[in-house]
Structure 1
């Protein structure tokens, strides 16, 4: 309650406990739940609604959980604004509206391939159909349509690849801003003595963390560790050699010290 009151004073907002709700984990006993409710003065339990367009409860089947994305997309496609568009109008409509609909969700969660395929299928059907909602003839593969213009495509986004790019951006923020609030929370739970780029297996990770880590391989293809002192760079694991893409050192003989850092390779007198 002290935290809640402090937040109210800092934000100049009055907390309405009648409209507030509590979300409990499955392992919280009923007696503890009721005691927390009575202490806070909040009797409503949440978890079934949504916040900023994202479901509050992320447990259960992810296909059912994110099925609303396709429903929203089909609702836009079936609207009167999309029925009599030219090919140029459809291109603008797809790029500015349809492909932008799931962006906010994809910036935090990794969508299953099945969901990405369903979304791409709905967009492709809209693109090829001359009289929606009737199905038109698909004259080319969707991957070819999504290729850049200089390669003969139109430049539509591949949904799964774009999803990974958005998640890689979130992972890069954890690296660039380690003192941020979200980085502090995730570091305390998942990589307390390490880096978000070098985390190992984690017991019962959240879906958000699983999603962010799924983009680590993609991020490592485009970054390189600056040596500086070299105390924090692992010789055999971190991409510090400036090739394209950057890579760690490769051992010609069996590695004796797998935890060796780059500083042990530096002659501090000559700086070589």
Structure 2
């Protein structure tokens, strides 16, 4: 992710352009990986930190200008935000999806790997 940020050059892109890049490119990779596997929370927090830094133009060690709060940017558009998916908020539902998949699917790879070590403790 950091190599992509260096190529794009945050100084040459407007705030709206940086937000579009974060939503369409930077957050698509972690979304795919976190829907298919359990990603540790500290990794997701680091991804959020990188996205915040890119949006606020902190890539080169600059202080950046915070015109709006990160929480406001992460709200849905209908509530006045910009609809950025923060992974610190999204981690809980994705983990619940994995737990549901474990409980419901006896033939899934997740169940076959975890059942010998965990047993029926999740039921």
TM-score bracket, normalised by the shorter chain, equals 0.7 to 0.9
Which one has the bigger helix percentage? 2
The alpha-carbon deviation at position 132 of structure 1 amounts to 5.2
1:147 to 58, 75, 78: 75
Structure 1 length-normalised TM: 0.38
Q: Contact 1:111 / 1:163 at 8 angstroms: preserved in 2?
A: no
Deviation of 1:146 (Å): 0.5
- Regions of 4+ moved over 4 Å: none
Q: Equivalent of 2:86, from 134, 158, 175? A: 158
Shift of 1:81: 6.2
Q: Which has the larger radius of gyration?
A: 1
Where structure 1 has 5 or more consecutive residues not aligned to the other structure, the ranges are 1-72, 199-272
Q: What secondary structure does 1:139 align onto? A: coil
Q: Cα RMSD between the aligned structures?
A: 2.6
| Residues 40-75 of structure 1, C-alpha deviations (whole Å, 9 max, x = no match) | xxxxxxxxxxxxxxxxxxxxxxxxxxxxxxxxx222
The 5 Å alignment of 1:1-272 reads 73-80=1-8, 83-107=11-35, 108-113=37-42, 115-129=43-57, 133=60, 134-192=62-120, 196=122, 198=123
TM superposition shift of 1:167: 2.2
Where does structure 2 lack aligned partners over 5 or more consecutive residues? none
Q: Is the 8 A contact 2:41 2:91 kept in 1?
A: no
Distance across 1 between alignment mates of 2:6 and 2:68? 23
| Cα deviation digits, residues 145-176 of structure 1 (max 9, x gap) | 10111111111112122223222222221223
* C-alpha deviation, 1:186, in angstroms: 1.8
TM-score between both structures, scaled by the size of structure 2: 0.75
Relative contact order higher in (CA < 8 Å, ≥ 6 apart): 2
